[in-house]
Each structure stands twice: as C-alpha cells, then as structure tokens.
Amino acid sequence: MVVLGVFAMGASPAAAEEESLRGIVAGLTARVEALEKKVVDQQAYIQEHERCIHDQRKVIAEQDTKIKNYEASVRALDERLHRQEPSAISIGRGLEIGAGATVIVQGTNNANADGTGEDRADASYSADITLAKDFESINGRAFVHLEAGTGDGLEDNLALYSNVNRDADNNNDVHLTEVWYEQGACNDRLALTFGKLDPTVYFDTNEAANDETTQFLGRIFRNNPTVEFPDNTLGIRFAYEPEEWVEFNVGFFDAGADWNKVGDNAFCAGQATFKHQFFGHPGNYRILGWYNDLPHTSWLTSTNDKEPAFGFALSFDQKVTEEVMLFCRYGWQDPRVYNPSLTATGGRVFSLEQSWSAGVQVEGGLWGRAKDVLGFAVGQAIASGDYKKSNSALAAKSEGHLEAYYNVHLNDYLSISPDFQYIWNPFGKDVVGNTDPVCVWGLRSQIDF
C-alpha cells in the first residue's frame, strides 16, 4: 500500500501537467472556435450590410428613374393639356406672352408641277404671337395664337401626294389661328378644351416628329397624311388620364372649318395613349380612330357624292438611350372615296389608302453639342386602290419620302437647320411629261423672342 501510494504520488505531476495542457488546449480551441464564429457572424453581417446598401442604391436609382420619368410625364401632359409655348414669358398675374418666327429657303432640281422640271428656289416665312392666361384659383387656362406668313415656298411648284413645307402659310394678314379655354379637374387628370382648336395638337402627336419649326419639314412626317384633319376650327376636346401610364382623348370638330352649319359636318376622333418604360426610357404608343362626314365622292360610282370617310392611325415614339429616340407612324383610310376639295398642286385629285413613316432623332450630347438635334426619316404615301381603278391610265405608284435635318442650337433665341428631302415616284409617277425623282434642299431658321 505504501509503495502504491508513493508510485501514485510520483506520477501525479506529469498527469496534472498533461491535464492542465489539455485544459489549455481545450480553452484555446474554444476561443478559436468562438473567434471563428465571430468572424463568420461578422462576415455574414458585412454581407447583409452590403446587400442592404446594394438594395438601397437600387431603390434610390429606381426612385431617381421614377422621378425623372414623372417629371417627363408631367411636362408631356402639360404640353398636351395646355399647349404652353416654350418661349412664353410670364408678365405677371398668370399672363404669359410668346413670339417666334420661322424663315425657310428651299431649292429643287425638279419643279415638276408643270411637267417641265426646272430648277427653282423659293422662300417662306411665318410669325407667331401667343398669349396665355392661367386662372389658378379655378384651374383654368385661356390661350390665343396669332399668326401671319408669306410664301408657299416650293409647294406650289411641286406635284406630290405629300408636300415638303408644312410651315408654309401664304397669308400675310394677321389671323387668329387658335383661341380656346381649358378647364382642368381631378388634379389635372381631366381636362375640357373648347374654342377654335388645332386638332393636330391633341391627335396623332409624336415626340420626335410633330413640329415643323424645329423637326421635320415634310408633311408626311409632321402628321399622317391618311388622317383627314380639318384646318383650325371650332371644336371641343376631352382628355382623361386615369393612371400615369394611359391617357384618353376625344374630340369633335367642325369638319368644314367654315363655322357654318357646324352640326351638319363633323370630324370626330378618339385616341388612346399608352406610356411605357423600356429599359428605363419613356415611350408613347398612340392608337387613333377618326370619322369625317363631309361629303365625299365614290371613285367608282361618281353619283355617290355624299359619302363619309373614316380611318385609323398609329403613332409610336420610344427613347432607347438618353440621346436616341425612335419613332414610327402608320395610317389607313377608306380607299373607296375622296374629298374633291383636297387636291395636289394644279388641282390634281387623288386619295391615299395607306401611309407609313419611321425614323430616328439623335440629340447632340453624343458629340458634345447637347442642344443640337439630328433627325432622319423615311416613309411612303400609298395611293388608294379604287383611285387607281378609276382610271386605267394611272400608274398610282407609292410615293416615297426621305428627309434628314440637323438643328444647330446657336443660342437660346436662334437655331438653324439644314434640311434635305428626296422624293421618288412623285405624285405616283402621274405627272405628264415628268416622272423623275425630286430633290429638295433647304435652310430653316427659327427665332424665339
């Protein structure tokens, strides 16, 4: 027993030391594991924090995009509902005044209207004065547009389905182009406009091709030639925007634009506009239907001379980058009838069945000229099938149009635009003695006071 006790006592220090080391190792292991767990937890926290930051940045970017799109939508809605001229200056008490002038010089290698095809150059000018008054307490607005101009430009020298100078206004007397009152309601989601109206302000609009003073000059690109719009006339227009992405317009106008028997002949139009975002960029997609009950004549039965006309049209514009916008239009109208008061140069009677156009607008920020704009478009005016059947001698080819312009922003008051147009199959190749293509080059200056 004594020996065993001595032996046990002799082995105790080593065992104790081993046991102590094991305890130390276990403690260190536990601390390492705890530290590893803390590191893992810290990494998870960092990853979660980074994910939160990423999500917040994404939310902020989305909010910025929504704000930009909302601002663009508000500006576009204001333009559609209120037609506020960009040059308008406030002169107090909600009264605004604006003025502008457009001067255009155009030349051609083929003034084909008389069949001779001579070289020719002509000019035209137009001047505008606008007055607008806001009635903020009742959410109303009044607008007056005065206009004068001289010169048909080349239009009276060219026989075309769709002519080349939409700005030509050969009326040197100051005349009242528009005068209307507009009442807004429901936070501007609803608007009623009545007076002497320009239907093209509200229907068949397009962000890239709807202003002959700064964009395309050719009529086929300014508005769809298959829509039989009356000139500025007595009318009433309703606009409703139930959601930010959709808007409806309905209009009723005096089709004859003569202010006589206004209930007898009407031009009626309805349009739905869908506003969508593709890749973070705004776009507008418009669908238009129209009806005009002015007396039209049947091509194949001339005794039927009190027929109405009708049709539909599409107008799309879509930004694909901050600087680049694509657009297109398409239209169709009843091919069986024609309006005898709508003629080409020289009193040539015709009618279209279809028309299409497409193009691109590029802002100059891509080459360091942020306020310059380059535009290019191509399209066709397609003659009515019944028009061609009415006379076996007619070729009635589809008239093709190409236009390019470059709007140079010189300052906030002056811009100039070199413009080029090329038309093949002019007037469907049915001008006696001249079926050659037409080239038109021009220079436009726009002054905003």
Q: Same structural domain for residues 239 and 380?
A: yes
Do residues 76 and 197 both lie within one domain? Answer: no
CATH of the domain at 434: 2.40.160.180
Q: Is residue 132 part of a domain?
A: no
Q: Which of 182, 175, 181, 219 is nearest to 200 (CA)?
A: 219
Is 115 in the same domain as 65?
Answer: no
Residue 329: enclosing H or E segment and its boundaries?
Answer: strand 324-333
Judgement on whether residues 50 and 115 belong to the same structural domain of the protein: no
DSSP 134-202: EEGGGTEEEEEEEEEEE--TTGGG---SS-S-TT---EEEEEEEEEEEEEEETTTTEEEEEEEE-GGGT
| 364 and 319 share one domain | yes
* Residues 107 and 42 placed together within one structural domain of the fold: no
CB 317 within 8 A of CB 208: yes
Claim to verify: residue 159 and residue 45 sit in the same structural domain? no
In whole angstroms, what is the distance from residue 346 CA to residue 160 CA?
Answer: 10
Domain boundary pick from 82, 110, 139: 82
Residues 216 and 291 in one domain: yes
Clarify whether residues 109 and 27 are in a common domain.
Answer: no
In this structure, is residue 90 part of a structural domain?
A: no
Number of Cα atoms under 13 Å in the Cβ half of residue 263? 0
Q: In the structure encoding, which two tokens stand for residue 18, read together?
A: 């081993």
Domain count, the chain: 2
- Tell me which residue of 447, 446, 426, 448 sits closest to 437, measured CA to CA: 426
Q: Please give the DSSP secondary-structure letter assigned to residue 399.
A: E
Give domain status of residue 344, yes or no. yes
**Is residue 107 located within the same domain as residue 47?**
no
CB 157 within 8 A of CB 134: no
Task: Give CA separation, 412 vs 17, 29, 128, 415, in Å.
Answer: 92, 76, 17, 8
Residue 134 lies in a domain: no
Q: Does residue 379 form part of some domain?
A: yes
The answer to whether residues 33 and 158 belong to one domain is no
* pLDDT tens track, the chain, 449 positions: 444 444 444 456 777 777 777 777 777 777 777 877 887 878 878 887 778 777 777 777 777 666 665 555 545 545 444 444 445 666 667 789 999 999 999 999 999 999 989 999 999 999 999 999 999 899 999 999 999 999 999 999 999 999 999 999 888 788 999 999 999 999 889 999 999 999 999 999 999 999 999 999 999 999 999 999 999 999 999 999 999 999 999 999 999 988 887 778 999 999 999 999 888 899 999 999 999 999 999 999 999 999 999 999 999 999 999 999 999 999 999 999 999 999 999 999 999 999 999 999 999 999 999 999 999 999 999 999 999 999 999 999 999 999 999 999 999 999 999 999 999 999 999 999 999 999 999 999 999 98
Query: Does 221 share its domain with 304?
Result: yes
Report if residue 136 sits inside a domain: no
Q: Does residue 133 form part of some domain?
A: no
**Domain span including residue 75:** 1-82
Would you say residue 287 lies in a domain?
A: yes
Gap between the Cα atoms of 446 and 102, Å rounded = 5
Last residue of a domain, one of 56, 82, 108: 82
How does 35-53 read in b/e, with b if 16+ C-beta sit within 10 Å? eeeeeeeeeeeeeeeeeee
